[in-house]
Amino acid sequence: MMSSPHLLELHNISKSYGALTALRDLSFHVGHSEVVGLLGDNGAGKSTTVNLISGIQKPTTGHLSIDGEKTTFSCRSDSADAGIETIYQNTALVDSLSITRNIFMGRERVNAFGFLKQTEMREIAMEVLEKAVHISGIDSPDKLVGDLSGGQKQAVAIARAVFFKRRVLLLDEPTSALSVRETEALLAQVLKLKAENVSSVLVTHNLYHAYQVCDRFVIMSHGTKVFDVKKADTTISQLTEYVVLT
Amino acid sequence: MMSSPHLLELHNISKSYGALTALRDLSFHVGHSEVVGLLGDNGAGKSTTVNLISGIQKPTTGHLSIDGEKTTFSCRSDSADAGIETIYQNTALVDSLSITRNIFMGRERVNAFGFLKQTEMREIAMEVLEKAVHISGIDSPDKLVGDLSGGQKQAVAIARAVFFKRRVLLLDEPTSALSVRETEALLAQVLKLKAENVSSVLVTHNLYHAYQVCDRFVIMSHGTKVFDVKKADTTISQLTEYVVLT
Amino acid sequence: ADVKATMIIYLDPSVQFFNPVVKGAQDAAAQFGVDLDVQYANNDPVRQNDLIESATVSGVDGIAVAISSSDAFDSSICAAVKTGIIVIGFNNDDLEGGKGNCRQAYVGMDEFASGYELGNRMIEKFDLKQGDVVFNPREIPEASFAVARGGGIEKAMKEKGITVETVRSGLDPAEAQNIIAQFLIANPGVKALFGTGSVTSTVGAGAIKDAGVNIPFGGFDLAVEIVNAVESGAMFATMDQQPYLQGYYPIAQIALAKKYGLTPTDVDTGQGAFLDKSRISSVKPLIGSYR
Amino acid sequence: MTITMTDSAVPKSRTRKQSLLKQIMTMPAGAILLVFITLQIVCIVGALAYPDDFRYLSPQNLTILMKAIPVLGCLALGAGILMIAGEFDLSIGSVYTFTAILMATLIDAGVSAFIAAPLGILTGVLIGLLNGTITLRFGLPSFIVTLGGLLFWRGAVLLYNGAVQVRFDPEPIFTSLFAGTILGVNAAFIWIILFVVGFYLLLHRHKFGNHVFATGGNRAAATAIGINTDRVKLIAFAIAGGMAAVAGIIATARVGSVQPGQGAGLELQAIAACVIGGLSLSGGRGSIIGIFLGVMLIHTITDVLLLLRAPGFYLDMFIATLIVVAAAFNHLIERRGAA
Amino acid sequence: MTITMTDSAVPKSRTRKQSLLKQIMTMPAGAILLVFITLQIVCIVGALAYPDDFRYLSPQNLTILMKAIPVLGCLALGAGILMIAGEFDLSIGSVYTFTAILMATLIDAGVSAFIAAPLGILTGVLIGLLNGTITLRFGLPSFIVTLGGLLFWRGAVLLYNGAVQVRFDPEPIFTSLFAGTILGVNAAFIWIILFVVGFYLLLHRHKFGNHVFATGGNRAAATAIGINTDRVKLIAFAIAGGMAAVAGIIATARVGSVQPGQGAGLELQAIAACVIGGLSLSGGRGSIIGIFLGVMLIHTITDVLLLLRAPGFYLDMFIATLIVVAAAFNHLIERRGAA
Ligand SMILES: Nc1ncnc2c1ncn2[C@@H]1O[C@H](COP(=O)(O)OP(=O)(O)OP(=O)(O)O)[C@@H](O)[C@H]1O
Ligand SMILES: Nc1ncnc2c1ncn2[C@@H]1O[C@H](COP(=O)(O)OP(=O)(O)OP(=O)(O)O)[C@@H](O)[C@H]1O
Ligand SMILES: [Mg+2]
Ligand SMILES: [Mg+2]
């Protein structure tokens, strides 16, 4: 490797749950200002991969590297330090807390004594909800997340990740519950972030969406990578074929 | 109304959660052997509508009718008796139970003394999982649902509803976590059921999917119906316009 | 040691009353060369049965046990006696005495009698009259010591036409003090206060002060606090039953019976139970060891 | 062209074969079973090596164990089903005493034990139903309702019979049915074995059990799928109350009298036995075998300490420590199984 | 053509304005506040109408209430934070006794109370940390670990000092600081008010509180977002232990001595106060005001019953019933608010 190292690399990662091998010898990379589409059948191991990069699961073997330097994430804060931000498939929201508190969970705006700057956070929350995804029906950032509709919850998770994004954004089926308008807004966000030099990994089952924004595609099947191709070198029908047939 | 009454009708239904009016004066119907697409923005009230028809939420005002007869559902068993089967947006699965037990939850196959016919249920579970959605990666119906991937969970919820379907199938964003292949299989199922005289209400944000299988579209916005049109009388771009702009 | 013995106490280890009992037993064990273990039934008759049977199984030569129920332990004690074990009752006895239970002897005193004595002394000293109301909070009303002592007080009062009010105070001193004080506020006509166990006897004086009333107070058991209260006059008297002897004699008798075949005999430890200001100072240095 | 085509011949199965030991470890109650068996082996070896000092295997000791287990066993089985359904019952200790006193006084008044005992169980069931009705009707936490029940029924004992112990004197046949010896085995132990088998069938093989697990595991989902979760919980409350009364009968038949103060703290012991046996406090997880092993573990530990003549002053302290150690050990085994 | 175009002028806002009362009802702790205020009004009116028979407003009674509330208050605040974080502590009753005995014997041995008291609190904190470490390190249910703690520290009291009550005899200034009267108000009551304010700020206004709610509400989500949930729980365990020690200091300063058997059952009372105040047993929900109102409600009910000369033998029975009634009432109000 003589060129500048990749932003994020996975090296020969395997992961087992008891008797089941969820990932087997998986390697791929994410470059600077690149949007990678991570595709594959249900149960292929995409979410497991996202969770590994986020540091909330640990690989059985293999390792990651950031900017060419080998690292291991033992918890979410490690990956946050490395500039990674994630929208989880299960949204990772606390139903019993308000929208604002969910957005700033773990990264509260505080004064010198650790007390919350509530007004400031409230305002940011509302703003970012409107900007990141044009979500409708949320009229107050004090609403409990448990009272939101499926799409509204997902919008909160997106707003949080977009607000705190730094270098890499991992999106695990971020549009699954979003309506047409919100989906368009999110895809536009991904491109905008790319322009701001934030790379993304987009997990989705909607190949049209993937094709719309990704620069490269990694296709997984049964826990391994079966295909890794630049957008220029493939077509949507070839992608479909790989996803469906492997 | 001189023709035979509709299979299912909603009459002037309203529903409030505390200060929020989730549904306002909503009326529509589902005919025999008809697939209705229930579309609308996030938070429009689609899931609330589905839950009302399933009997797990009660309308503040208004009522339903089945075959022209006014009814009220006070719990899920009432709607099941009326022949309604639902795939909930949140899947309604018990993580700590096996796939088989989730599928037959509340409707177990039992002998004369109420004891479970475990082998029989196991076999049916595996079969229906393979038939209803061609889900991959589930190698045993004894796996705990909590250990499944997002799409696999959804597949279990679908398998359950498809297996027990009788007259109306409500599908609340059933394909949100499904991969391309599984999605196609599900949409084919809906059409197959229609041929078997089972009507469906399909809630989805993917207008292409809706357009592919639905006979009529009901578009909701902010808790009310804004559009109700037969497939023959509209185009996908008109639908998009209504969903996005209202 | 050539003699093995087990002592079984019905209540739990935190009850202060049994400190001198255990010390007495240990002293006797040391003097007579007995290998002694002490077990606690935590107020549970089922558990006490387990303990008696376990001791029988582990092959001890003698068991000293509080027979806190006239029926619950009859069969397990009889079974132990049948295998040749010497069983001595202490602290509580079967209400029918030796007729109701196979135990070979009983060492202890009558708690009912001590309640009766305290009641009568209070009536005499403070001139309690017919129609008066006195207050007797109990930490655990259903515990046998509370039933016996309280029953004695009630008998004495009833004979003079005096009413006894009672309340469950629990074992927590702060809670007990609150409850006693609140009761005294609500019932300003109460003429005297009786403790029942060591908790109510300890906090009674404080509760009287909290309630802002001035009434006589008598109780049971010995503790530094109680002795201080008697000395200072905040408390009229306390009842003692020489628990040291209730531990010493059973073990000594087991050893003597085993070694020399001496027949165990009943012992009454209930003499000199009443301790008021005039006698308390001689007792004070011995608290926690011999008293 | 950067297309990389990696190993297209993906093996169809992603699951490895696991050793039998690992399979046992991941079974429900598998880990606790291993802990229990280990303890038994240690005890048996110790007893064979020092037959005079450690009389674990003496017939008398085995009889004591068999007599000791059923009371807590009955309480734990009832409390356990209720916990799997997602609710607590803290009142079982008081109900145990109340129903026992009720039964004993009825027999004292000349009623046949074979009528008084079912009446006692019925009372327990009714109290359970009352707990359940209040809990469900008002949507209250069962913790607070049954804590109220604990105090209420303790008070009711005093109200009904005063702070007086009651003699229990039924027909001899009744006593031998619950405390006698049948084919060399203690009758109470036979009862608890029957209950374990019955509850096993009910919980793991019967429709009702499936509803209990569903209700406790995810009440909203169970409701959404048409299970009458209120009814399931109500029945579970009734079972807990009824089993508390059964425990009362067994204890009373054994001891021959009822103390008004007994039973305090038994509810926590029963819950502890369940939790040791792998029940989740938040419901939806657990097994009957686990509950029974939890009860046996507690009693074996107590028994061993008594046989070793551990100082009674600190006996509870030792028991507590050993229970936590056993639970930790249990967890380590479980984790090894999952890895 | 069947296109039906219904009311295109949809109003933008779907939320109605609600009455102030309804708003209060839906606030956290709003319903319990209404219950409490209602009870107070009834009591005050009753006391004004029958000043001789119902001495609720007599200065002595108010003083006793102020003295009674702080002990349970401190225990409940600590237990409450831990419960919001999703864990239990059943050992606080024993820790309360153990630290009090430790402190009293230190003072007896000549140590200044101003050194002994912080040492006692430190011990409480360390015990809490130990509970937390065992719970988290081995992934055990805190119920079982702290039930072990309950028995262990009760045993430790006996080991440390035997079954002897200890006199507490600190410098007079220490006693007046914790049990004296400051500006006409009981010192212990001032302490509990300070604690309530402090915990309110910590839990509802500070970053740490947000982490506590997140950890208890959805531990997996909190972990996934980068909160060190183990640390949060550990701190909550430490707070519960420390507050148990503070309760011990306040109780001991009041009574002037420590009984080795005290504190039994206080853990359940503390949890009950929290649950009455609206805390969820499964974590993530609750408020400091609710906890404090729960404590006050329990004590007010006890006090009123004593003042009304309810039959003392069955006092607990009445208290239990009234607590359940208050909880049910609370729930009805809450539901009306949400409708
Ligand atoms: N339990 C609840 N309490 C309060 N408000 C609720 C509750 N459930 C839903 N709502 C509100 O009702 C409105 C309609 O919600 P609903 O879930 O029906 O929307 P939806 O059309 O299904 O949206 P989506 O496409 O995002 O799933 C939303 O604004 C939501 O915030
Ligand atoms: N906690 C777990 N325990 C056991 N097996 C698990 C666990 N989590 C996931 N799995 C298994 O690992 C495999 C990969 O799961 P993963 O969630 O990564 O799939 P995915 O590619 O994200 O699928 P989907 O598109 O459905 O979300 C699946 O077969 C799943 O059953
Ligand atoms: Mg996934
Ligand atoms: Mg929805």
The token pair that represents C285 in the structure block: 């240095």
What's the B148 CA to ligand 2 centre distance in angstroms?
5
Instruction: Give D189's Cβ-side CA count (13 Å radius).
Output: 16
**Contacts A44 to B, Cβ<8 Å:** 137
Read off the pLDDT of residues E6-55 as tens digits, 9 standing for 90 and up. Answer: 444 444 567 777 777 777 777 778 888 988 999 999 999 999 998 888 88
For chain B, give the mean pLDDT: 91
What's the A172 CA to ligand 3 centre distance in angstroms?
7
Burial (0-12, 13-18, 19+ Cβ within 10 Å), B231: middle
- How large is the ipTM? 0.90
What pLDDT score does E40 carry?
93
Binding-site residues, ligand 1, Cβ < 6 A: A 137, 147-152, 177; B 17, 20, 22, 40, 42-48, 89
Percent of chain B past pLDDT 90, that is, above it, reads 76
Partner residue opposite A222 with nearest CB, options D5, D14, D16: D14
Q: Judge if the beta carbon of residue B152 lies within 6 A of ligand 2.
A: yes
Q: Among candidates E19, E45, E92, which has minimal Cα distance to E270?
A: E92
The pLDDT profile of chain C, 291 residues, written as one tens digit per residue, is: 689 999 999 888 877 788 889 999 999 999 999 999 999 888 888 889 989 988 888 889 999 999 988 888 988 999 999 999 999 999 888 878 888 889 999 998 888 888 999 999 999 999 999 999 999 999 888 877 888 899 999 999 999 999 999 988 888 888 889 889 988 988 889 999 999 988 899 999 999 998 889 999 999 988 888 899 999 999 999 998 888 999 999 999 999 999 999 999 999 887 777 889 988 888 888 887 787
Q: Please identify which residue in the block is written with the tokens 């092959």.
A: C59
**In the predicted structure, residue D2 carries a pLDDT above the cut 70:** no
What pLDDT score does A1 carry?
43
**In the predicted structure, residue D5 carries a pLDDT above the cut 60:** no
The token pair that represents B202 in the structure block: 């399909």
**In the predicted structure, residue E104 carries a pLDDT above the cut 60:** yes
Read off the pLDDT of residues D194-218 as tens digits, 9 standing for 90 and up. Answer: 999 999 999 999 999 999 999 999 9
What pLDDT score does C144 carry?
78
Query: How far off is chain D from C6, nearest CA to CA, in Å?
Result: 9
Neighbouring residues of E333: CB distance < 8 A, sequence distance ≥ 6 = E25, E31, E34, E35
**Is B225 near chain E, with CB under 8 Å?**
yes
Compute φ and ψ for E15, nearest 5 degrees.
Answer: -100, 130
Chains near D with 3+ CB pairs less than 8 A apart are: A, B, C, E
Angle between helices E187-200 and E172-179 (to 10 degrees): 60
Q: Among candidates D258, D264, D267, which has minimal Cα distance to D161?
A: D258
Return d(Cα E123, Cα E112) in angstroms, integer: 16
Read off the pLDDT of residues A185-215 as tens digits, 9 standing for 90 and up. Answer: 899 999 999 999 999 999 999 999 999 999 9
The reported pTM is 0.91
What pLDDT score does A246 carry?
72
**Is A19 near chain D, with CB under 8 Å?**
yes
The token pair that represents B44 in the structure block: 């429009």
What's the C286 CA to ligand 2 centre distance in angstroms?
72
Q: Among candidates B19, D211, C139, B65, which has minimal Cα distance to E19?
A: B19
Chains near C with 3+ CB pairs less than 8 A apart are: D, E
**In the predicted structure, residue B9 carries a pLDDT above the cut 90:** yes
**Contacts E306 to C, Cβ<8 Å:** 167, 179, 182-183, 186
What pLDDT score does D337 carry?
62
**In the predicted structure, residue E188 carries a pLDDT above the cut 50:** yes
For chain A, give the mean pLDDT: 91
Neighbouring residues of E254: CB distance < 8 A, sequence distance ≥ 6 = C174, C177, E67, E71, E178, E179, E188
Give the residue, by CA position, lying nearest to ligand 1 atom 3. A147
Read off the pLDDT of residues D162-195 as tens digits, 9 standing for 90 and up. Answer: 878 888 989 999 999 998 888 889 999 999 999 9
What's the A135 CA to ligand 4 centre distance in angstroms?
13
Is A88 close to E208, i.e. CB distance below 8 A?
Answer: no
Is C146 close to D60, i.e. CB distance below 8 A?
Answer: no
Taking the CA of A48 as reference, the closest ligand is 2
**In the predicted structure, residue E4 carries a pLDDT above the cut 80:** no
What's the B61 CA to ligand 3 centre distance in angstroms?
39
Cα–Cα distance list, E162 to B164, C251, E101, E151, E258 (Å): 67, 21, 10, 15, 12
Instruction: Give D230's Cβ-side CA count (13 Å radius).
Output: 9
Give the residue, by CA position, lying nearest to ligand 1 atom 16. B45
Answer whether B182's CB lies under 8 Å from B135's CB.
yes
For chain D, give the mean pLDDT: 89
Read off the pLDDT of residues A96-152 as tens digits, 9 standing for 90 and up. Answer: 999 999 999 999 999 999 999 999 999 999 888 887 766 666 778 888 999 899 899
Cα–Cα distance list, D225 to B55, B152, D221 (Å): 10, 19, 6
Read off the pLDDT of residues D292-319 as tens digits, 9 standing for 90 and up. Answer: 999 999 999 988 988 888 888 888 888 8
**Contacts D297 to E, Cβ<8 Å:** none
Read off the pLDDT of residues E138-177 as tens digits, 9 standing for 90 and up. Answer: 988 898 899 999 999 988 988 888 888 888 889 999 999 9
Overall residue count recorded for chain E in this entry: 339
What pLDDT score does E338 carry?
61
Give the residue, by CA position, lying nearest to ligand 2 atom 8. B147
DSSP string covering E24-53: HHHSTTHHHHHHHHHHHHHHHHHHHH-TTT
**In the predicted structure, residue B139 carries a pLDDT above the cut 50:** yes
Residue B101, SS3 per DSSP: helix
**Contacts A233 to D, Cβ<8 Å:** 1-3
Q: Among candidates E338, B220, B61, which has minimal Cα distance to A151?
A: B220
Residue to substitute from B96, B109, B118, interface D, most D β-carbons within 10 A? B96
Read off the pLDDT of residues B48-74 as tens digits, 9 standing for 90 and up. Answer: 999 999 999 999 999 999 999 999 898
